[in-house]
């Protein structure tokens, strides 16, 4: 796709003719290559239509013609721009202005299409262990079911709860809210009354409860439904049950770990999520070592590194690495696509890094 050399490539210009995207009124212009060029103008004058809607859209279109249909799906494809002709256009990377906060997880790779290119590179040109099947580009993304580490679901961290994290002060009784992780207000009272029905002592310090009881209250997956006598003391409750008095309601028990993890996973409320998170301990996922991908994907190497290691390289180092590959123009007869992919990568990445 990079074969034709036109007049403007020799003269160092990108020549745009008859651009009519959005509000552009059939404009033609020459833009110097290898230079910092700024478009200025009032809002709505067509700066973005020219830079992103026309020039970048056309660069992307030309590049995507050279890749397979499955790889094309990884890109947010722009529409074909309204323009008569563009000459001297190099492969391009577009960085759009970011609105709102960029998260701490963002890297240059994640705010550009670079990460998609790296996935293609590993899929097409990575070194696979003997006998390993080819993994498609999606398989190198922690945000797809094909790629995500099965233990941490692609988060890179696992969350667990412990007695200490859920019961920060073991001198308190259950009535005094020893189980800090439990819901406050009615939900907590409900769980406490269920424990009373089940015969647990909610008025002695947590640490004095037998180990077996503490473990059951915190970690059980059982969810028994029992009659609850609201506002009764333990003695009154025993009597009421013996006399088969009508209970206030039937209550279903949920262990503290189950409550915390389920709330964390399912709540729609950011506040609730934040509340239960303080009782969770997070650590790097032991299966992927925090790299977020399946081990099959991490086993594929390029330049001796897995895709996570390569993605963490500073851009200048990444650039040097690709330049080395792309400049050694040896065509591997068995894997002719290797040269194509690395060559394309180097070409497409250079303009953005220089």
Least distance CB 227 / Zn ion (angstroms): 43
Task: Compare residues 152 and 194 and give the one whose CB is closer to Zn ion.
Answer: 152
- Which C-beta is closer to Zn ion: that of 151 or that of 283? 151
Question: Residue 152, interface with Zn ion (CB under 5 A)?
Answer: yes
The CA distances from residue 156 to 133, 153, 226, in Å, are 24, 8, 39
Least CB distance from residue 288 to Zn ion, whole Å?
3
Question: Is residue 287 a contact point for Zn ion (CB under 5 A)?
Answer: yes
190's enclosing H/E stretch is helix 185-197
Please tell me whether residue 293 binds Zn ion under the rule CB under 5 A.
no
Provide the edge-to-edge strand list for the sheet that holds 13-19: 27-32, 13-19, 85-87
Binder among 31, 137, 149, 300 for Zn ion (CB under 5 A): 149
**Contact assessment for residue 156 and residue 285, using Cβ atoms and an 8 Å cutoff:** yes
Question: Does 285 help bind Zn ion (rule: CB under 5 A)?
Answer: yes
Please choose, out of 174-182, 197-205, 230-238, 283-291, the segment that lies near Zn ion by the rule CB under 5 A. Answer: 283-291
Stretch of 16-24, 34-42, 115-123, 148-156 contacting Zn ion, by CB under 5 A: 148-156
Q: CA separation (Å) from 88 to 24, 31, 56, 134?
A: 20, 10, 13, 36
- Window contacting Zn ion (CB under 5 A); options: 71-79, 133-141, 151-159, 201-209: 151-159
Say if residue 117 is exposed, middle or buried (CB neighbours under 10 Å; 0-12, 13-18, 19+).
Answer: buried
Contact 184, 192 (CB under 8 A): no
Specify the stretch interacting with Zn ion by CB under 5 A; choose among 130-138, 176-184, 285-293, 326-334.
Answer: 285-293
Residue 151 is a binding residue for Zn ion (CB under 5 A): yes
Q: By rule CB under 5 A, what count of residues binds Zn ion?
A: 6
Comparison of 195 and 300: residue with beta carbon closer to Zn ion: 300
Q: What one-character-per-residue DSSP string does 129-153 give? A: PTTPPP--GGGG-TTSTTTB-TTTT
Minimal distance in Å, beta carbon 105 to Zn ion?
15
**Which contacts qualify for 116-119: CB closer than 8 Å, 24 or more apart?**
116/74, 116/75, 117/345, 117/348, 117/349, 118/307, 118/310, 118/311, 119/74, 119/307
Is the Cβ of residue 14 or residue 288 nearer to Zn ion in the bound state?
288
Structure tokens at 44: 């709505």
Find the part of the chain contacting Zn ion (CB under 5 A) among 65-73, 145-153, 243-251, 326-334: 145-153
- Check residue 288 for interaction with Zn ion (CB under 5 A): yes
DSSP per residue over 264-280, as a string? HHH---HHHHHHHHTT-
What x/- string results for residues 76 through 95 when contact with Zn ion is judged by CB under 5 A? --------------------
**Residues of the shown chain interacting with Zn ion in the complex, contacts defined by CB under 5 A:** 149, 151-152, 285, 287-288
């Amino acid at each position: 796709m990079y074969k034709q050399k036109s007049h403007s490539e020799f003269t160092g210009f990108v020549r745009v003719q008859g651009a009519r995207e959005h509000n552009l009124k059939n404009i033609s212009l020459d833009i110097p290559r290898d230079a910092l060029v700024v478009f200025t103008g009032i809002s709505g004058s067509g700066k973005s239509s020219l830079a992103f809607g026309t020039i970048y859209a056309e660069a992307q279109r030309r590049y995507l013609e050279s890749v397979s249909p499955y790889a094309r799906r990884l890109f947010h494809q722009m529409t074909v721009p309204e323009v008569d002709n563009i000459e001297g256009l190099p492969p391009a990377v577009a960085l759009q202005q970011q609105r709102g906060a960029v998260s701490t997880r963002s890297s240059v790779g994640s705010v550009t299409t670079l990460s998609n290119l790296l996935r293609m590179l590993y899929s097409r040109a990575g070194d696979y262990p003997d006998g390993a099947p080819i993994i498609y580009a999606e398989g190198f993304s922690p945000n797809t079911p094909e790629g995500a580490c099965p233990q941490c679901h692609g988060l890179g961290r696992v969350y667990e709860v412990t007695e200490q994290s859920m019961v920060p002060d073991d001198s308190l009784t259950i009535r005094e809210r020893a189980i800090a992780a439990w819901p406050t207000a009615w939900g907590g009272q409900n769980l406490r009354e269920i424990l009373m029905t089940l015969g647990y002592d909610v008025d002695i310090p947590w640490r004095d409860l037998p180990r077996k009881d503490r473990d059951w209250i915190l970690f059980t997956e059982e969810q028994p439904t029992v009659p609850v006598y609201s506002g009764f003391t333990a003695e009154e409750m025993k009597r009421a049950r013996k006399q088969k008095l009508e209970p206030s309601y039937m209550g279903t028990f949920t262990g503290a770990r189950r409550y915390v993890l389920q709330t964390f996973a399912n709540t729609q409320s950011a506040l609730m999520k934040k509340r239960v998170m303080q009782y969770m301990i997070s650590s790097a996922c032991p299966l992927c070592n925090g790299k977020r991908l399946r081990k099959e994907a991490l086993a594929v190497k390029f330049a001796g590194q897995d895709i996570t290691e390569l993605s963490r390289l500073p851009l200048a180092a990444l650039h040097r690495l690709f330049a080395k590959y792309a400049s050694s123009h040896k065509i591997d007869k068995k894997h002719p696509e290797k040269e194509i992919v690395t060559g394309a990568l180097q070409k497409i990445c250079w303009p953005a890094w220089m």
